[in-house]
Amino acid sequence: MKIKKNYTKEEILSGIKCGFEFEFYSSLDVFKTARELASVLKKRVVVPLSLSSMGEPKPLYHSPVTPTDTIFKLEPDYSGGKKMCELVTGPMKYAEARNVMIKVFEWIRSNGYTNERCSIHVNMSIDGNVIPTLYNIQNISIPKFILSFDENVVFDKFPKRKDSVYARSIRSIRPNRVLFYSPTLDEFSRSTLTLPATEKYFGVNFLKAEKGYLEYRYLGGADYEKKAKAILDIIDYFAIHLYNTLNFEGFTEKEKDAFRKMLDLDKEMYEGFVKYEAFAKIFPDIKVTVDLKDDPQVLQAVWGVIREKLYDLIITGKMRKGEFNYDTDNGMFQLKNSKLKDCNLSDFEFIKCEVEGIINRSWFFDCKVKNSRISESHFMKGNTVDFSKVNESELHIGNVLNDCFIENKSMLINCEVNRGVIRNGEVGKLAKISKETMMVEVIEPTESPGSYKGDKKKKK
């Protein structure tokens, strides 16, 4: 089919296919919820099952069942506690998808509710037989998509989603750290620029592109079912923007300017990573030591080892002040008295820091952590963690987690937990769990001391 210029909005939408993932709380059990939704939507809604340890059937979490346009699936979604459900549809033509969304919203308003833990994901593709494009989604230009995408279209209507740990901003193109210079868009390749396309927890999940669609994760929050008009308008924006991106014929001047502003770095700053002497002049508020000593000769000798870690802290984590130390005895990088925003780091010791981002295999002492995802780490003492996902991490007494999602199959939980969800794990006798905390598959102490606050029923 010949590619026509200047399709109307209606013509573009006629070629769009949409699927949804609705997270919500139901006043009914999962089986009754499925039956009622099936009746309302005129679709088959299945509840995938597995066998429990007692040989009894139970609803399956994250099943491999693939929905279609006629068969949807309903599953428990433990990210919001035991009572959260997730309805997953298959891809449908735009007009049908629109009607399904409206009916689901009406059902939730009458039979359930949503809170800040709930989201609605939109899976979108374009039928090339209806609306042909120069490129398909599998070879979409991600830089073009990012530079032309206006996140304020979402955040103006859903401002609380701006800091979601599950839908991070895609506006984060940056130079590859091994180059230490700022390339132009014409020089773009995966070896020169790092894009937000390596994991799913961005506002747009580009990992789905290889399957022929994109997953938009921006939408959700409390009472999203009452915002049908705003969500439909945003979905229309997603569709038109996707169509325009797939007809990529070059970067506009506006996009080139957005790229320059996104980097927000000058040549002098990059020169600071070539030699320690230059770094010390360009970043006077960042103290760098090796084994707590600031001998310039020693620092230059190990500069090749530590400069990439500093690059991650400064370029990705936006650090401008702090104390950085390389402990050669254990090969550990240490950071003290610093603030990090939107970082992506592994193998650090953080001491008296304020941290936001993705952290793996690290240690925390007297830190404030928020809007983060932490995995395989150690909260030693004096830490406060807010609105974060914590996975397989040591949670010792003396730490406080507020409004977090905890998934700790192999690590004991001995800290204070206020609200949020404990997906799984064993609660220690020194833990303090608030009554508002939702617990799913949790082993609690058989004899709880007075300091333990929570449901004393033991769960297996």
In this structure, is residue 285 part of a structural domain? no
Cβ–Cβ under 8 Å, residues 243 and 137: no
Contact 326, 302 (CB under 8 A): yes
Domain assignment present for 24: yes
Q: Residue 146 domain-assigned? A: yes
Give the pLDDT of residue 188: 62
Residue 441 lies in a domain: yes
How far apart, in Å, are the Cα atoms of 72 and each of 35, 83, 307, 355? Answer: 11, 19, 50, 40
Residue 295: both structure tokens together:
């001998």
Residue 435, phi then psi, degrees to nearest 5: -65, -25
- For residue 268, tell me if it sits in a domain: no
Query: What is the span of the domain harbouring residue 249?
Result: 9-259
Looking at the structure, do residues 240 and 352 belong to the same domain, yes or no?
no
Please report the pLDDT score of residue 262 as a whole number.
Answer: 78
| 211 assigned to some structural domain | yes
Give the end of a domain, one of 214, 244, 259. Answer: 259
| Claim to verify: residue 233 and residue 352 sit in the same structural domain | no
Verify that 254 and 350 share a domain, yes or no: no
Q: 255 with 350, same domain?
A: no
Q: Number of folded domains in the chain? A: 2
Is position 77 within any domain? Answer: yes
pLDDT of residue 165: 86
Residues 94 and 235 in one domain: yes
One domain, residues 355 and 211: no
> Quick check: is 316 in a domain?
no
> In this structure, are 254 and 342 located in the same domain?
no
N- to C-terminal Cα distance for the chain? 59
Phi, psi of 211 (to 5 degrees): -95, 0
Answer with the one of 239, 259, 279 that is the final residue of a domain.
Answer: 259
User: Do both 227 and 364 map to the same domain?
Assistant: no
* pLDDT of res. 47: 94
| pLDDT average per 10 residues of sequence, the chain (460 residues) | 74 97 96 97 93 68 90 92 93 98 98 95 96 94 93 95 89 70 64 79 95 97 97 98 92 88 69 88 95 94 92 89 95 96 94 96 98 96 96 96 94 95 93 93 65 40
Domain edge (last residue) among 209, 240, 259: 259
Tell whether 210 and 355 lie within a shared domain.
Answer: no
Separation CA 42–CA 49 (nearest Å): 22
- pLDDT (0 to 100) of residue 79: 85
40 burial via Cβ count (<10 Å: 0-12, 13-18, 19+): middle
Among candidate residues 75, 91, 118, 122, the one with its CA nearest the CA of residue 226: 118
Same structural domain for residues 254 and 367?
no
Residue appearing with tokens 């991490």? 393
Q: Which of 242, 244, 252 is closest to 212 using CA atoms?
A: 242
Return phi, psi of residue 344, to 5°.
Answer: -140, 100
Do residues 358 and 215 both lie within one domain?
no
CB 389 within 8 A of CB 373: yes
* pTM of the entire predicted model: 0.88
Answer yes or no: do 234 and 345 share one domain: no
